Structure formats: C-alpha cells, structure tokens
C-alpha cells in the first residue's frame, strides 16, 4: 500500500511543509511516510516522499515554505519510539543518523535555497525488518508528533547531541 499523499487547503500562502520519508515495506522505516499520510492541518502541506523524497522537490520549491519538517526513521541509539530533532550537520552515514545514506543530506542541501528553515525529526525504530506494520511503540508516537507540529512546537522536541 504505497501512496503519495498531499493534503492541500485553499487560501494558504507560504504554508509549512511536512515531508515524510520511509519504506513502508520495512516495518518502522515507514513511520515518516505514514505520518505524512495521516497528517492534515490548515496551513500545512503534507507530502509522503516514500523512498524517493527527491521526486517532490518541485512541489516543495513551488510552495516556498517558511519551514520544512522532514520526518524519517533513523538509528540514534535511543529507546524505540523516541524522536529527536537531528542537527542537519549530523545527517550523514558518518554519524549514523540516516537510514537513506547521503541522499537525505543532499536533498536538504539542495532545498535550503528554497526554504527558510529545515528541521529533521528522527524516530528511533524498533525494527526495520521486512513487513508492512509499524511496531506499536513507533505507531503510538506518530499522533504525538502530529500534535507537536500542529502547535508549531517542534523546537520543544529534544535535540539529539
């Protein structure tokens, strides 16, 4: 069940953008993708980038958002279901915070010229084994993250050191 989902509301100018990334066939790796599918809120454009987020740069550029929030599962040596803001400088295989190797870092570097601010939120997976279901602990944090975004309170998410 792979889909690319956009939630558009009329009249919104310079909306915030949520870009969810993830492979739904790899259990918790699909968390960002699923969050994007379930997230709908006025003033936001929600994009399910699936495993090819670079395919959606045109939409993000056109939107010219004040903030781009990227959500993806990534190994952070935290308790499963934990979520953290990851400093953009740490998004490389060198730091181990990225499940998609250099592609997310390259994507962010490219989008910086079209977006005022980019925030990366990582979710610690319990498993990334083949399977289409999220673990309960990861599934349960998605509504929490959605509520934080709706309140524009992403700065309250602890930053990974």
pLDDT tens digits, one per residue of 27-73: 999 999 999 999 999 999 999 999 999 999 999 999 999 999 999 99
54 in Cβ contact with 108 (< 8 Å): no
pLDDT at 161: 81
Residue 95 backbone dihedrals phi, psi, to 5 degrees: -95, -15
pLDDT at 92: 65
Joined together, the tokens standing for residue 20 give 């969810």
Report the alpha-carbon distance of residue 97 to residue 113 in Å, rounded: 23
pLDDT at 127: 95
For tokens 């010219």, what's the residue? 64
Q: For the domain 6-156, what is the CATH code?
A: 3.40.50.1450
Give the three-class secondary structure for 37.
Answer: helix
Provide the 10 A C-beta neighbour count for residue 157: 18
Q: Which residue ranges make up each domain of the chain?
A: 6-156
In this prediction, the residues of the chain whose per-residue pLDDT falls under 70 are 1-14, 92-102
pLDDT at 28: 97
**What are the angstrom distances between the C-alpha of 55 and each of 9, 58, 75, 86, 102?**
21, 8, 24, 23, 16
Q: Classify residue 38 as left (phi > 0), alpha (psi -120 to 50) or beta.
A: alpha
Joined together, the tokens standing for residue 88 give 């953009």
């Amino acid at each position: 069940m792979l889909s690319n989902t956009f939630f558009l509301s009329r009249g919104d100018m310079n909306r915030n953008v949520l870009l969810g990334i993830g492979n739904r066939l790899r259990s918790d790796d699909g968390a960002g993708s699923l969050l994007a599918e379930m997230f709908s809120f006025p003033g936001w454009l929600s994009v399910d980038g699936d495993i090819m987020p670079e395919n959606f740069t045109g939409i993000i550029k056109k939107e010219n958002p004040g903030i781009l929030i990227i959500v993806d599962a990534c190994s952070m040596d935290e308790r499963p279901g934990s979520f953290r803001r990851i400093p953009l400088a740490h998004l490389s295989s060198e730091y181990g915070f990225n499940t998609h190797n250099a592609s997310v870092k390259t994507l962010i570097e490219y989008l910086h010229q079209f977006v005022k601010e980019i925030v990366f939120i990582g979710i610690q997976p319990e498993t990334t084994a083949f399977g289409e279901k999220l673990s309960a602990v990861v599934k349960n944090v998605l509504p929490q993250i959605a509520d934080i975004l709706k309140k524009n309170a992403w700065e309250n998410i602890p930053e990974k050191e």
